[in-house]
A and B are shown apart, each in its own frame.
Chain A
Amino acid sequence: MKTRTDSFERSDVTPTEFVEFDRLNVHWPQNLGKYLETLALVTASGSTATVDYFRLSPVIPILNLPVQECPVSMVSWDATLPSEPLMYWATNPKYFVDFLSQDSPVPLKEKMKDRINSLIRSFQIESKNGESPSLLSIRDFLQFLSLSEGDLIAPSLTLSATGLIRAEWSQNRERIILQFRGDEDVDYVVFVHHPKHRNRYQRKSGRCSRYCIFENLSRNEQRLLFSE
Protein backbone atom coordinates (compact mmCIF):
# COMPACT_ATOMS: atom_id res chain seq x y z
CA MET A 1 0.00 0.00 0.00
CA LYS A 2 1.34 3.39 -0.92
CA THR A 3 1.69 5.69 2.06
CA ARG A 4 2.61 9.30 2.44
CA THR A 5 3.36 10.70 5.82
CA ASP A 6 3.99 14.31 4.91
CA SER A 7 1.09 16.68 5.42
CA PHE A 8 -0.84 17.79 2.42
CA GLU A 9 -2.05 21.25 1.64
CA ARG A 10 -5.51 22.57 2.39
CA SER A 11 -6.12 22.93 -1.34
CA ASP A 12 -5.72 19.15 -1.64
CA VAL A 13 -8.49 18.64 0.86
CA THR A 14 -11.32 20.95 -0.10
CA PRO A 15 -12.55 19.40 -3.37
CA THR A 16 -13.56 16.20 -1.63
CA GLU A 17 -15.48 15.51 1.51
CA PHE A 18 -14.10 13.63 4.44
CA VAL A 19 -16.49 11.05 5.69
CA GLU A 20 -15.79 9.82 9.15
CA PHE A 21 -15.06 6.12 8.99
CA ASP A 22 -16.89 5.02 12.08
CA ARG A 23 -20.04 7.03 11.43
CA LEU A 24 -20.84 5.29 8.19
CA ASN A 25 -23.04 2.55 9.43
CA VAL A 26 -23.15 0.52 6.26
CA HIS A 27 -21.78 -2.79 5.21
CA TRP A 28 -18.53 -2.27 3.31
CA PRO A 29 -18.25 -4.53 0.31
CA GLN A 30 -14.98 -5.71 -1.19
CA ASN A 31 -15.29 -3.28 -4.09
CA LEU A 32 -15.54 -0.24 -1.86
CA GLY A 33 -12.21 1.00 -3.18
CA LYS A 34 -13.86 1.75 -6.50
CA TYR A 35 -15.89 4.47 -4.87
CA LEU A 36 -13.17 6.12 -2.87
CA GLU A 37 -10.22 8.13 -3.99
CA THR A 38 -7.96 8.20 -0.99
CA LEU A 39 -7.98 7.23 2.60
CA ALA A 40 -7.08 10.20 4.72
CA LEU A 41 -5.77 9.82 8.19
CA VAL A 42 -6.65 12.84 10.27
CA THR A 43 -4.71 13.06 13.47
CA ALA A 44 -5.52 15.31 16.39
CA SER A 45 -2.92 17.89 17.39
CA GLY A 46 -0.11 16.36 19.39
CA SER A 47 -1.21 12.83 18.58
CA THR A 48 1.49 10.19 18.31
CA ALA A 49 -0.64 7.93 16.13
CA THR A 50 0.84 7.01 12.79
CA VAL A 51 -0.30 5.44 9.60
CA ASP A 52 1.00 2.13 10.96
CA TYR A 53 -1.64 2.25 13.67
CA PHE A 54 -4.38 2.15 11.09
CA ARG A 55 -2.75 -0.56 9.02
CA LEU A 56 -3.94 -2.88 11.77
CA SER A 57 -7.51 -2.24 10.69
CA PRO A 58 -8.92 -5.31 8.96
CA VAL A 59 -10.60 -3.09 6.36
CA ILE A 60 -7.67 -1.15 4.98
CA PRO A 61 -5.62 -3.98 3.45
CA ILE A 62 -8.46 -5.05 1.18
CA LEU A 63 -8.97 -1.55 -0.13
CA ASN A 64 -5.53 -1.02 -1.61
CA LEU A 65 -5.95 2.73 -1.37
CA PRO A 66 -3.28 5.36 -0.96
CA VAL A 67 -3.15 6.66 2.60
CA GLN A 68 -2.48 10.28 3.38
CA GLU A 69 -1.80 11.77 6.74
CA CYS A 70 -2.93 15.23 7.59
CA PRO A 71 -3.20 17.18 10.82
CA VAL A 72 -6.63 18.32 11.94
CA SER A 73 -5.58 21.94 11.65
CA MET A 74 -5.34 21.55 7.89
CA VAL A 75 -8.81 20.16 7.41
CA SER A 76 -11.82 22.35 6.92
CA TRP A 77 -14.22 20.43 9.11
CA ASP A 78 -17.33 21.72 10.78
CA ALA A 79 -18.00 18.87 13.18
CA THR A 80 -16.64 18.59 16.68
CA LEU A 81 -13.55 16.45 16.57
CA PRO A 82 -12.86 14.10 19.42
CA SER A 83 -9.33 14.12 20.71
CA GLU A 84 -8.42 10.70 19.37
CA PRO A 85 -7.11 10.24 15.86
CA LEU A 86 -9.76 9.64 13.29
CA MET A 87 -9.87 8.08 9.92
CA TYR A 88 -11.82 9.53 7.06
CA TRP A 89 -12.63 8.48 3.58
CA ALA A 90 -11.95 11.18 1.05
CA THR A 91 -14.43 10.48 -1.66
CA ASN A 92 -15.95 12.08 -4.70
CA PRO A 93 -19.59 12.74 -3.67
CA LYS A 94 -20.96 11.30 -6.91
CA TYR A 95 -19.29 7.95 -6.28
CA PHE A 96 -20.60 8.02 -2.75
CA VAL A 97 -24.20 8.39 -3.93
CA ASP A 98 -23.67 5.61 -6.48
CA PHE A 99 -22.28 3.41 -3.77
CA LEU A 100 -25.13 3.98 -1.34
CA SER A 101 -27.73 3.51 -4.05
CA GLN A 102 -26.27 0.13 -4.92
CA ASP A 103 -25.80 -0.86 -1.30
CA SER A 104 -29.44 -1.95 -1.05
CA PRO A 105 -31.21 -1.27 -4.32
CA VAL A 106 -34.66 0.29 -4.05
CA PRO A 107 -36.36 1.61 -7.22
CA LEU A 108 -36.97 4.99 -5.59
CA LYS A 109 -33.29 5.32 -4.74
CA GLU A 110 -32.37 4.82 -8.36
CA LYS A 111 -34.94 7.45 -9.34
CA MET A 112 -33.54 9.94 -6.81
CA LYS A 113 -29.90 9.34 -7.68
CA ASP A 114 -29.73 11.62 -10.72
CA ARG A 115 -31.48 14.40 -8.84
CA ILE A 116 -29.08 14.13 -5.91
CA ASN A 117 -26.06 14.15 -8.19
CA SER A 118 -27.43 17.21 -9.97
CA LEU A 119 -27.97 18.97 -6.60
CA ILE A 120 -24.40 18.11 -5.54
CA ARG A 121 -23.01 19.63 -8.75
CA SER A 122 -25.10 22.81 -8.33
CA PHE A 123 -24.10 23.15 -4.68
CA GLN A 124 -20.41 22.81 -5.48
CA ILE A 125 -20.65 25.44 -8.24
CA GLU A 126 -22.62 27.83 -6.03
CA SER A 127 -20.53 27.57 -2.88
CA LYS A 128 -17.66 30.02 -2.66
CA ASN A 129 -14.95 27.41 -2.04
CA GLY A 130 -16.43 24.54 -4.01
CA GLU A 131 -17.63 22.78 -0.85
CA SER A 132 -19.72 19.63 -1.11
CA PRO A 133 -23.05 19.14 0.61
CA SER A 134 -23.15 16.87 3.64
CA LEU A 135 -22.65 13.31 2.47
CA LEU A 136 -23.83 12.04 5.82
CA SER A 137 -27.12 13.86 5.24
CA ILE A 138 -27.44 12.19 1.85
CA ARG A 139 -26.58 8.84 3.42
CA ASP A 140 -29.35 9.29 5.99
CA PHE A 141 -31.86 10.18 3.27
CA LEU A 142 -30.99 7.19 1.10
CA GLN A 143 -31.18 4.88 4.09
CA PHE A 144 -34.56 6.41 4.98
CA LEU A 145 -35.75 5.42 1.50
CA SER A 146 -34.61 1.85 2.18
CA LEU A 147 -36.42 1.75 5.50
CA SER A 148 -39.65 3.13 4.12
CA GLU A 149 -39.72 0.95 1.04
CA GLY A 150 -43.16 0.37 -0.37
CA ASP A 151 -45.48 2.96 -1.77
CA LEU A 152 -43.47 6.00 -0.71
CA ILE A 153 -44.02 8.84 -3.16
CA ALA A 154 -40.88 10.35 -4.68
CA PRO A 155 -40.25 13.60 -2.80
CA SER A 156 -39.02 16.89 -4.21
CA LEU A 157 -35.38 17.31 -3.15
CA THR A 158 -33.38 20.47 -2.41
CA LEU A 159 -30.29 21.38 -0.42
CA SER A 160 -30.29 23.87 2.43
CA ALA A 161 -27.68 26.63 2.59
CA THR A 162 -25.69 24.43 4.97
CA GLY A 163 -25.72 21.51 2.52
CA LEU A 164 -28.33 19.33 4.23
CA ILE A 165 -30.78 17.45 2.06
CA ARG A 166 -34.46 18.34 2.35
CA ALA A 167 -37.23 16.12 1.04
CA GLU A 168 -40.68 17.59 0.51
CA TRP A 169 -43.98 15.85 -0.18
CA SER A 170 -46.88 18.13 -1.06
CA GLN A 171 -50.47 17.88 -2.25
CA ASN A 172 -52.91 20.78 -2.54
CA ARG A 173 -50.86 23.11 -0.35
CA GLU A 174 -50.48 20.47 2.35
CA ARG A 175 -46.88 19.38 2.83
CA ILE A 176 -44.31 17.54 4.85
CA ILE A 177 -40.65 18.57 4.75
CA LEU A 178 -37.89 16.43 6.22
CA GLN A 179 -34.34 17.70 6.64
CA PHE A 180 -31.73 15.01 7.16
CA ARG A 181 -29.09 16.37 9.51
CA GLY A 182 -26.45 13.71 8.91
CA ASP A 183 -26.29 12.68 12.56
CA GLU A 184 -29.30 10.35 12.20
CA ASP A 185 -31.67 13.10 13.36
CA VAL A 186 -34.32 14.62 11.14
CA ASP A 187 -35.98 18.02 11.31
CA TYR A 188 -39.61 17.91 10.20
CA VAL A 189 -42.24 20.46 9.27
CA VAL A 190 -45.86 19.49 8.64
CA PHE A 191 -48.56 21.69 7.09
CA VAL A 192 -51.93 19.93 6.81
CA HIS A 193 -55.56 21.00 6.62
CA HIS A 194 -57.39 21.00 9.91
CA PRO A 195 -59.59 17.87 9.85
CA LYS A 196 -62.69 19.85 10.85
CA HIS A 197 -61.92 23.26 9.30
CA ARG A 198 -60.67 22.67 5.78
CA ASN A 199 -59.73 26.32 5.25
CA ARG A 200 -57.43 26.27 8.27
CA TYR A 201 -53.97 24.71 8.48
CA GLN A 202 -52.35 22.82 11.30
CA ARG A 203 -48.62 23.37 11.43
CA LYS A 204 -46.05 21.59 13.47
CA SER A 205 -42.29 21.18 13.48
CA GLY A 206 -39.67 19.34 15.48
CA ARG A 207 -36.66 17.08 15.47
CA CYS A 208 -36.50 13.32 15.95
CA SER A 209 -34.40 10.30 15.11
CA ARG A 210 -34.83 9.17 11.52
CA TYR A 211 -35.97 5.82 12.87
CA CYS A 212 -38.96 7.50 14.60
CA ILE A 213 -40.24 9.75 11.82
CA PHE A 214 -43.46 7.84 11.33
CA GLU A 215 -44.20 7.80 15.04
CA ASN A 216 -44.20 11.61 14.92
CA LEU A 217 -46.70 11.73 12.06
CA SER A 218 -50.40 11.00 12.42
CA ARG A 219 -52.18 8.76 9.91
CA ASN A 220 -53.72 11.85 8.37
CA GLU A 221 -50.24 13.31 7.86
CA GLN A 222 -48.65 10.10 6.60
CA ARG A 223 -51.08 9.92 3.68
CA LEU A 224 -48.98 12.70 2.06
CA LEU A 225 -46.00 10.36 1.92
CA PHE A 226 -47.59 7.26 0.43
CA SER A 227 -49.57 6.56 -2.70
CA GLU A 228 -52.91 4.90 -2.10
Chain B
Amino acid sequence: MRGDPIPENYNVARYCGNSTLDENGDPSSSSFSLRKGETYLSVTCLELAGGDSTLDQLNNVRISLSQNLNLGANACLAILGVEFLIKHVLSESSDQRRLSVLHEPPPEPHCGIHNIKEDDMLVEALLAECVSVIHPAK
Protein backbone atom coordinates (compact mmCIF):
# COMPACT_ATOMS: atom_id res chain seq x y z
CA MET B 1 0.00 0.00 0.00
CA ARG B 2 1.21 3.51 -0.79
CA GLY B 3 3.38 4.94 1.96
CA ASP B 4 4.28 1.57 3.47
CA PRO B 5 8.02 1.04 3.93
CA ILE B 6 9.87 -1.47 1.77
CA PRO B 7 11.58 -4.23 3.81
CA GLU B 8 15.23 -3.35 4.38
CA ASN B 9 16.48 -6.64 2.97
CA TYR B 10 14.97 -5.80 -0.43
CA ASN B 11 16.74 -4.20 -3.40
CA VAL B 12 15.66 -1.36 -5.66
CA ALA B 13 16.57 -0.51 -9.24
CA ARG B 14 17.09 3.08 -10.38
CA TYR B 15 16.71 3.79 -14.09
CA CYS B 16 19.75 5.87 -15.11
CA GLY B 17 19.49 7.71 -18.43
CA ASN B 18 22.54 7.91 -20.66
CA SER B 19 23.08 11.63 -20.04
CA THR B 20 23.46 10.94 -16.31
CA LEU B 21 26.13 8.25 -16.78
CA ASP B 22 29.83 9.04 -16.77
CA GLU B 23 32.13 8.31 -19.70
CA ASN B 24 32.57 4.71 -18.48
CA GLY B 25 28.82 4.15 -18.40
CA ASP B 26 28.67 4.18 -14.60
CA PRO B 27 25.94 5.97 -12.62
CA SER B 28 26.92 9.33 -11.15
CA SER B 29 25.31 11.72 -8.70
CA SER B 30 23.27 13.01 -11.65
CA SER B 31 21.60 9.59 -11.93
CA PHE B 32 20.00 10.24 -8.53
CA SER B 33 18.89 13.83 -9.04
CA LEU B 34 15.26 14.85 -8.83
CA ARG B 35 13.41 16.43 -11.75
CA LYS B 36 11.66 19.72 -11.12
CA GLY B 37 8.60 19.16 -8.96
CA GLU B 38 9.50 15.59 -7.96
CA THR B 39 9.22 14.95 -4.23
CA TYR B 40 10.88 11.55 -4.19
CA LEU B 41 13.29 9.54 -6.29
CA SER B 42 11.48 6.90 -8.35
CA VAL B 43 12.85 3.38 -8.09
CA THR B 44 11.52 -0.11 -8.76
CA CYS B 45 11.70 -2.88 -6.20
CA LEU B 46 13.19 -6.10 -7.54
CA GLU B 47 11.53 -8.38 -5.03
CA LEU B 48 8.10 -6.85 -5.67
CA ALA B 49 8.50 -7.13 -9.43
CA GLY B 50 7.95 -10.90 -9.25
CA GLY B 51 10.05 -13.73 -10.63
CA ASP B 52 12.02 -16.62 -9.18
CA SER B 53 15.46 -15.47 -10.22
CA THR B 54 17.21 -12.10 -10.36
CA LEU B 55 17.08 -12.38 -14.14
CA ASP B 56 13.28 -12.74 -14.05
CA GLN B 57 13.00 -9.88 -11.58
CA LEU B 58 15.10 -7.62 -13.79
CA ASN B 59 13.00 -8.47 -16.84
CA ASN B 60 9.84 -7.65 -14.91
CA VAL B 61 11.38 -4.35 -13.77
CA ARG B 62 12.12 -3.53 -17.44
CA ILE B 63 8.53 -4.37 -18.42
CA SER B 64 7.20 -2.20 -15.60
CA LEU B 65 9.46 0.75 -16.50
CA SER B 66 8.71 0.52 -20.21
CA GLN B 67 5.07 1.38 -19.49
CA ASN B 68 6.13 4.96 -18.76
CA LEU B 69 9.58 5.32 -20.30
CA ASN B 70 11.30 4.71 -23.60
CA LEU B 71 14.19 2.68 -22.27
CA GLY B 72 17.40 4.00 -23.79
CA ALA B 73 19.83 1.64 -25.48
CA ASN B 74 22.73 2.95 -23.39
CA ALA B 75 20.77 3.53 -20.18
CA CYS B 76 21.24 1.26 -17.20
CA LEU B 77 19.53 -0.06 -14.10
CA ALA B 78 21.52 0.64 -10.94
CA ILE B 79 20.78 -1.79 -8.12
CA LEU B 80 20.90 -0.57 -4.51
CA GLY B 81 20.22 -2.49 -1.30
CA VAL B 82 17.59 -0.69 0.78
CA GLU B 83 19.32 -1.28 4.11
CA PHE B 84 22.71 -0.19 2.81
CA LEU B 85 21.48 3.02 1.20
CA ILE B 86 19.62 4.07 4.34
CA LYS B 87 22.61 3.35 6.61
CA HIS B 88 25.18 4.86 4.27
CA VAL B 89 23.37 8.18 3.85
CA LEU B 90 22.52 8.33 7.56
CA SER B 91 26.14 7.86 8.60
CA GLU B 92 27.87 9.90 5.89
CA SER B 93 25.60 12.88 5.26
CA SER B 94 26.43 16.07 7.11
CA ASP B 95 22.89 16.32 8.54
CA GLN B 96 22.53 12.59 9.37
CA ARG B 97 19.78 12.30 6.81
CA ARG B 98 17.38 9.41 7.28
CA LEU B 99 16.00 8.32 3.91
CA SER B 100 12.98 6.07 3.63
CA VAL B 101 11.99 3.78 0.79
CA LEU B 102 8.22 3.59 0.44
CA HIS B 103 5.60 2.01 -1.78
CA GLU B 104 4.28 4.41 -4.40
CA PRO B 105 1.24 4.29 -6.66
CA PRO B 106 0.90 1.23 -8.91
CA PRO B 107 2.26 -0.53 -10.84
CA GLU B 108 3.17 -2.62 -7.83
CA PRO B 109 6.98 -2.58 -7.92
CA HIS B 110 7.11 1.23 -8.12
CA CYS B 111 8.67 2.76 -4.98
CA GLY B 112 10.18 6.05 -3.93
CA ILE B 113 13.25 7.09 -1.97
CA HIS B 114 12.01 9.91 0.26
CA ASN B 115 13.62 12.78 2.14
CA ILE B 116 15.85 13.90 -0.72
CA LYS B 117 15.64 17.61 -1.43
CA GLU B 118 15.97 19.42 -4.72
CA ASP B 119 19.63 20.15 -5.52
CA ASP B 120 20.72 17.75 -2.78
CA MET B 121 23.98 16.91 -4.51
CA LEU B 122 25.73 15.49 -1.45
CA VAL B 123 22.99 12.92 -0.82
CA GLU B 124 22.81 12.17 -4.55
CA ALA B 125 26.57 11.54 -4.58
CA LEU B 126 26.23 9.25 -1.54
CA LEU B 127 23.47 7.28 -3.29
CA ALA B 128 25.76 6.80 -6.28
CA GLU B 129 28.23 5.16 -3.87
CA CYS B 130 25.55 2.65 -2.85
CA VAL B 131 25.19 1.05 -6.28
CA SER B 132 26.05 -2.61 -5.90
CA VAL B 133 25.74 -3.65 -9.55
CA ILE B 134 24.45 -2.26 -12.85
CA HIS B 135 22.49 -3.96 -15.63
CA PRO B 136 21.48 -2.78 -19.10
CA ALA B 137 18.09 -1.05 -19.02
CA LYS B 138 17.04 -2.75 -22.24
Contacts and interface: CB of A to CB of B under 8 A. Distances in A.
Interface string A86-119: 0000000000000000000000000000010001
Contacts of B19: 119, 122-123, 126, 133, 158-159
Chain B interface main SS type: loop
Contacts of A162: 33-36
Interface string B11-50: 0000001111111000011110111101000000000000
A125 B22 CA distance: 17
Given A126-B19, A177-B125, A161 B29 contact: no
A160 interface: yes
A228 interface: no
A201 B29 contact: no
B94 A187 contact: no
Contact of B125 (A125, A159, A191): A191
Contacts of A166: 28-30, 121
A4 interface: no
B95 to A, nearest CB: 10
Contacts of A126: 17-19, 70, 72, 75
A135 to B, nearest CB: 15
Given A156-B22, A205-B122, A78 B29 contact: no
Interface residues of A, number: 28
Contacts of A156: 22-23, 28
Interface residues of B, number: 27
B72 A122 contact: yes
B4 interface: no
Nearest to B119: A187
A125 B119 CA distance: 23
B121 A187 contact: yes
Nearest to A166: B30
Given A166-B29, A168-B28, A159 B20 contact: yes
A177 B33 CA distance: 13
Interface in A120-176: 122-123, 125-126, 133, 156-162, 166, 168, 175
Contacts of A177: 29, 121, 125
Contacts of A157: 22-23
Contacts of B28: 156, 158, 166, 168
Contacts of B125: 175, 177, 189, 191
Interface of B: 17-23, 28-31, 33-36, 38, 70, 72, 74-75, 92-94, 119, 121-122, 125
20 contacts: A122-B72, A123-B19, A125-B72, A133-B19, A156-B23, A157-B22, A158-B19, A158-B20, A158-B22, A158-B28, A159-B20, A160-B20, A161-B30, A161-B33, A161-B38, A168-B29, A177-B29, A187-B121, A189-B121, A203-B94
Given A161-B38, A177-B29, A187-B121, 8 more contacts: A122-B18, A126-B19, A126-B75, A156-B28, A162-B33, A162-B34, A162-B36, A166-B28
